[in-house]
Chains A and B, each alone.
Chain A
Amino acid sequence: MSAALDTLKLSSAQIAWRAAQDMEDGAYVNLGIGFPEMIAKFQPEGRDVVYHTENGVLGFGEAPAAGEEDWDLINAGKKAITLKPGAAFFHHADSFAMVRGGHLDLAVLGAYQVAENGDLANWSTGKGGVPAVGGAMDLVHGAKRVAVVTDHVTRKGEPKLLKRCALPLTGLGCVTRVYTSLAVIDVEDGRFVLREKLPQLSFEDLQSVTGAELKIHGDVADLAVPEL
């Protein structure tokens, strides 16, 4: 990415803020470990969201204060959590029944690559080392909406949104929306459809750092995010 794009782009917190705005009141949501977890911090006021974690908790809240941790009460990232009123515990098979059975409204994951047909690669760089998949391959097949939060390009400036993924796949045709550092893009009928872009960024510049054609159906809104 050019130096100009690099100064324009949203921070991780701003991408998380934007993704949080789409969580509906009453939604059951799973936020993937790492970057997606940040979305909970920006849950819009007045909306009730119930968070699910793979290891068997519905309705957890923020991290406890240091020294207040109970290590029997953690999330999928092995971080200590607290409970909100109305929380529930369950075993792993029930937890993944919630996932695969289509009971979650939204799952948000990170990505190495996303393809215009909705394929996601987020578990293996294909370079050897120790493979580890966790719950990602299950999560992409259960939630009604599967969203990705990601930088628009890699650290080397290569597009992460592609015609086809080159890295090992997590799931086929599973992604419905991508929140990037430059734009909000839907996957519809095997194409990337641009919904929002940073207002200072031209369509041509955005297309030049995207590895597949960006379609425009209807209005493209400004991607407007507060300073965070």
Chain B
Amino acid sequence: MNKTIAFASEAVAGIGDGTTVMIGGFGGSGAPIELIHALIDAGPKNLTIINNNAGNGHVGLAALIEQGMVAKMICSFPRSADPKVFTDLYLAGKIELEIVPQGTLAERIRAGGAGIPAFYTPTSYGTELAEGKLVAEFEGRHYVQERWLKADFALIKAELGDPLGNLTYRMAARNFNPLMATAATRTVAQVTRIVAAGEIDPEQVVTPGIFVDGIVEVPDPEQEESLNREGAVYP
């Protein structure tokens, strides 16, 4: 088995118009910048993007949005140090937003990957984000029913990958990446280094390869925060 893909362009080739794509990361930490830029080069339209945020500056997710490729964002916090790209489009009515509490977003993705269509959470009970949702009482407390979240594609970032798709992560860059890997029809990971099968200690594997369809090696990956400090713009 060899899930290695040579080029980022090849990794995103199947993402067509109207696709729902999960993109890993929390802010810039764990964001697969090179895969996102390859997606910009490919140019599909009317994408629905699931991410914790909605981009920062003019690179990565913000650049994808700035290109007019995103019809809808599903996220918890569409603000950042430089949120102008998303903010302007949103206030002009040119991009749809589904705002989801962060823990609910994580659990909806986990449920999507685990084959659990719905679950109950105390989060958002009694708030406007629970409007129209089923509520049930368990042991005297109220809980809101939330549904799973799945995607056609997940683009994620990991540290080490092997040809079977086993992945490790680097520090807090883990965040949503292992969850999204489980919840998409096709998951592609950019990894800093591809190692031979057996070189990742099975005790250290965070995402087992069954959840991963392709890996692309991107040595020395770009960091969104560093790019923004340089004033970078993509493309």
> Chain A: residues with CB nearer than 8 A to chain B?
53-57, 69-74, 78, 89-93, 95-96, 99-100, 129-138, 141, 168-172
| In the assembled complex, B219 has its CB within 8 A of some CB on chain A | no
A/B interface sample: 22 pairs, CB < 8 A = A53-B172, A56-B175, A72-B29, A72-B30, A72-B173, A74-B26, A78-B81, A92-B102, A92-B103, A92-B176, A95-B106, A96-B103, A99-B103, A130-B97, A131-B97, A131-B99, A133-B102, A138-B101, A138-B103, A168-B127, A171-B127, A172-B126
Which residues of chain B come closer than 8 Å to A136, judged between CB atoms? 101
Assembly CA distance A171 to B122 (angstroms): 9
Our pick among A54, A57, A131, A171 for the contact of B102 (Cβ within 8 Å) is A54
B149 to chain A, nearest CB (A): 12
Q: Are A137 and B27 in contact (CB under 8 A)?
A: no
For residue B223, which residues in chain A have a CB less than 8 angstroms away from its CB? 71-72
With contacts A74-B27, A93-B110, A172-B126 known, is A57 near B179, CB below 8 A? no
- Of all A-B residue pairs in the complex, the 7 with the closest CB atoms, nearest first, are A96-B103, A138-B103, A92-B106, A135-B102, A172-B126, A141-B122, A137-B101
> For residue B77, which residues in chain A have a CB less than 8 angstroms away from its CB?
132-134
User: For A71, what are the chain B residues with a Cβ–Cβ distance below 8 Å?
Assistant: 28-29, 223-226
* Residue B4 is within 8 A (CB to CB) of chain A in the complex: no
Q: Which residues of the partner chain A approach B99 to less than 8 Å between Cβ atoms?
A: 131-133
Whole-angstrom distance between the Cβ of B26 and the nearest chain A Cβ: 4
Nearest-Cβ distance from residue B118 to partner chain A, whole angstroms:
16
What is the CB-to-nearest-CB distance from B210 to chain A, in angstroms, rounded to a whole number?
Answer: 16
Contact call A91/B172, Cβ cutoff below 8 A: no
For chain B, residues 63 to 109, give those with C-beta under 8 angstroms from any C-beta of chain A.
76-81, 83, 86-87, 90-91, 97, 99-107, 109
Instruction: Tell me which of B27, B174, B206 has the highest count of chain A C-beta atoms within 10 A of its own C-beta.
Output: B174
Q: Complex: how many Å from CA A132 to CA B102?
A: 10
Task: Enumerate chain B interface residues (CB-CB to A < 8 A).
Answer: 26-30, 52, 76-81, 83, 86-87, 90-91, 97, 99-107, 109-110, 121-129, 169-179, 206, 223-226
In the complex formed, the residue of B with least CB distance to A170 is B127
Contact in complex: B129, A93 (CB < 8 Å): no
Complex alpha-carbon distance, A132 and B106, angstroms: 16
Q: Give the residue of B87, B110, B170 whose beta carbon is less than 8 angstroms from that of A72.
A: B170
Q: Are B26 and A55 in contact (CB under 8 A)?
A: yes
- The residue that A132 contacts in the complex, of B30, B76, B109, with Cβ under 8 A, is B76
Cβ-closest chain A residue relative to B227: A71
Question: For residue A131, which residues in chain B have a CB less than 8 angstroms away from its CB?
Answer: 78, 97, 99
User: In the complex the two chains form, is A57's CB within 8 Å of B172's CB?
Assistant: yes
Distance (whole angstroms) from the CB of B169 to the closest CB of chain A:
7
Q: Contacts of B122 on A, CB cut-off 8 Å?
A: 100, 141
| A70 close to B26 (CB less than 8 A) | no
Complex alpha-carbon distance, A132 and B99, angstroms: 7
> Within the complex, which residue of B29, B90, B102, B103 is in contact with A130, where a contact is CB–CB below 8 Å?
B90
* Given known A138-B101, A141-B123, contact A96–B169 (CB-CB < 8 A): no
Cβ contacts under 8 Å, B103 to chain A = 54, 92, 95-96, 99-100, 135, 137-138
